[in-house]
């Protein structure tokens, strides 16, 4: 607790009778100095002037909470979840590039085999519509012509999801979770150069979620279906503001064409926790999660788990940090996410400027912090006003 120290008065000068050790802040009252010490970082109900308590209830972290993306270079760090986004050859337009029902599984087979060999969960993102299946085949897209559009026939997407699910379940390496699309901003959210990966409507996305959900569950009832993962959720939500939070709400509310809505076709909620303010505000993660929970409550989904399927320092990129700051950013991200109640966190990406493949000390630290957290009892996470995070993990104090 803060330490109250009586004052000594000498005319107009007021000084404390003594200064306690480990002081990190002070306020002055009429008859005393109130000193905050490093002990105050670890109070579950500490003063607002010190920071904010993030963790409401102690929890046990999943042993498979931490994931890693990669492009072409397999990560050499420990990770428990692999996601196919931006692994060459592993999206719909690569696997079925020219014609309905004819597949090239070579790249995805290798991806799944590596994940399975490491005992990892697998998230397969259903996105990147092939030109032949696209509702707008001539439209420029991130992953080929027409690739950012919904399919002209939803059955094509259902058939593809079923083919993926069936292939790997029959091989004994089932897909853990199917995620419906990546960072949608819809037809009114800009185009190719504005980072919009989906140029359809919320209604089209709801129909896609229905198609994937029904196709997957008919084959593997244990496979999870994740919501489309929006980005840009760092500010308090105002309905209609077209933020990532609003995009998530629009999907959940959108009619699926069969009497339901987007919210009916998911097992867990996914989002991306990048901060787009130009300063990589990692401390906004609790606000992002709070925004997601608000939308979940509106649609009676408060019991569902929350996954962060992409995260890193993006502007500027993590690689521009010195190694110590990379380590601190990673730790703060993981602690603030887990403390906010997020179940899974997948880093993007090992072998690009948002990752740390070229930093062996940072890679070693990733193994250290994820190893300490996996399966651990997390009893406190405090976001401090001095831009640090205090946590207690299995009874051990961390200050990062």
What CATH number should be reported for the domain holding residue 115? 3.20.20.80
Q: What is residue 192's three-state secondary structure?
A: helix
Segment 259-278, tens digit of pLDDT: 999 999 999 999 999 999 99
Do 102 and 27 belong together in one domain? no
Q: Assess if residue 209 is contained within a domain.
A: yes
CA distances from 396 to 45, 378, 393 (A): 18, 10, 5
Residue 110's pLDDT is: 98
Angle separating helix axes 244-253 and 202-219, nearest 10 degrees: 70
Residue 7's pLDDT is: 86
Do 183 and 78 belong together in one domain? yes
What's the domain count of the chain?
2
pTM: 0.94
Do 125 and 190 belong together in one domain? yes
Region of 322 (left: φ > 0; alpha: ψ -120 to 50; beta: rest) is beta
Q: Assess if residue 252 is contained within a domain.
A: yes
Q: Assess if residue 254 is contained within a domain.
A: yes
- Please tell me the distance from the alpha carbon of residue 75 to that of residue 256, in angstroms, as a whole number: 39
Q: What is residue 99's three-state secondary structure?
A: coil
Do 36 and 92 belong together in one domain? no
Q: Assess if residue 356 is contained within a domain.
A: yes
Do 252 and 356 belong together in one domain? yes
Do 344 and 241 belong together in one domain? yes
Burial class (CB in 10 A: 0-12, 13-18, 19+), 76: exposed
CA distances from 391 to 199, 231, 261, 332 (A): 41, 26, 39, 10
Do 169 and 33 belong together in one domain? no
Residue 27's pLDDT is: 80
Nearby residues of 381 by Cβ (< 8 Å), 6 or more positions away: 53, 54, 55, 335, 336, 338, 339, 389, 390, 391
CA distances from 51 to 35, 131, 344 (A): 15, 51, 25
CA distances from 88 to 70, 103, 128, 143, 228 (A): 10, 15, 12, 11, 21
Residue 36's pLDDT is: 80
Domain assignment of residue 178, given as a range: 52-399
Q: Name the nearest CA neighbour of 292 among 233, 350, 252.
A: 233
Residue 153's pLDDT is: 98
Q: Assess if residue 47 is contained within a domain.
A: no
Do 347 and 394 belong together in one domain? yes
Segment 295-306, tens digit of pLDDT: 999 999 999 999
Do 65 and 37 belong together in one domain? no
Residue 386's pLDDT is: 84
Do 128 and 183 belong together in one domain? yes
Do 293 and 225 belong together in one domain? yes
Q: Which residues pair with 269 in a beta bridge?
A: 306
Do 391 and 355 belong together in one domain? yes
Per-residue pLDDT of the chain (400 residues; tens, 9 = 90+): 778 888 888 888 888 888 888 787 788 877 898 888 888 888 888 767 788 999 999 999 999 999 999 999 999 999 999 999 999 999 999 999 999 999 999 999 999 999 999 999 999 999 999 999 999 999 999 999 999 999 999 999 999 999 999 999 999 999 999 999 999 999 998 888 888 999 999 999 999 999 999 999 999 999 999 999 999 999 999 999 999 999 999 999 999 999 999 999 999 999 999 999 999 999 999 999 999 999 999 999 999 999 999 999 999 999 999 999 999 999 999 999 999 999 999 999 999 999 999 999 999 999 999 999 999 999 999 999 889 999 999 999 999 9
């Amino acid at each position: 607790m803060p330490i109250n120290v009586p004052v000594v008065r000498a005319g107009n000068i007021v000084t404390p009778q003594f200064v306690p050790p480990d002081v990190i802040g002070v306020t002055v009252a009429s008859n005393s100095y109130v000193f905050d010490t490093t002990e105050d970082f670890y109070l579950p109900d500490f003063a607002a002037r010190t920071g904010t308590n993030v963790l409401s209830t102690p929890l046990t972290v999943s042993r498979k909470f931490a994931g890693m993306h990669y492009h072409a270079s397999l990560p050499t760090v420990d990770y428990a979840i692999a996601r196919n986004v931006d692994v060459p050859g592993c999206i719909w337009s690569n696997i079925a590039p020219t014609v309905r029902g004819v597949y090239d599984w070579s790249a995805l087979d290798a991806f799944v085999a590596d994940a399975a060999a490491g005992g990892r969960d697998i998230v397969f993102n259903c996105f990147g519509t092939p030109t032949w299946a696209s509702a707008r085949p001539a439209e420029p897209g991130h992953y080929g012509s027409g690739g950012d559009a919904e399919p002209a026939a939803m059955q094509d997407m259902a058939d593809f999801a079923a083919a993926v699910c069936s292939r790997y379940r029959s091989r004994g390496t089932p897909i853990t979770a199917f995620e419906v699309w990546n960072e949608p901003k819809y037809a009114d959210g800009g185009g190719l150069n504005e980072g919009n990966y989906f140029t359809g409507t919320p209604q089209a996305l709801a129909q896609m979620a229905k198609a994937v959900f029904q196709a997957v569950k008919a084959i593997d009832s244990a496979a999870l279906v994740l919501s489309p993962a929006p980005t840009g959720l760092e500010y308090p939500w105002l309905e209609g503001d077209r933020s990532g939070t609003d995009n998530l709400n629009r999907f959940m509310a959108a009619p699926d064409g069969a009497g339901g809505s987007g919210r009916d076709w998911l097992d867990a909620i996914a989002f991306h926790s990048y901060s787009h303010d130009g300063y990589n505000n990692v401390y906004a993660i609790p606000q992002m999660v709070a925004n997601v929970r608000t939308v979940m409550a509106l649609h009676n989904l408060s019991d569902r788990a929350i996954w962060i399927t992409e995260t890193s320092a993006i502007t500027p990129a993590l690689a521009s940090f010195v190694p110590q700051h990379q380590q601190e950013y990673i730790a703060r991200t993981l602690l603030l996410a887990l403390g906010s109640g997020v179940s899974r966190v997948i880093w993007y990406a090992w072998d690009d400027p948002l990752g740390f493949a070229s930093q062996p000390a940072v890679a070693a630290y990733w193994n250290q912090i994820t190893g300490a957290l996996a399966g651990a009892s997390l009893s406190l996470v405090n976001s401090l006003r001095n831009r640090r995070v205090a946590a207690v993990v299995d009874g051990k104090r961390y200050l990062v």
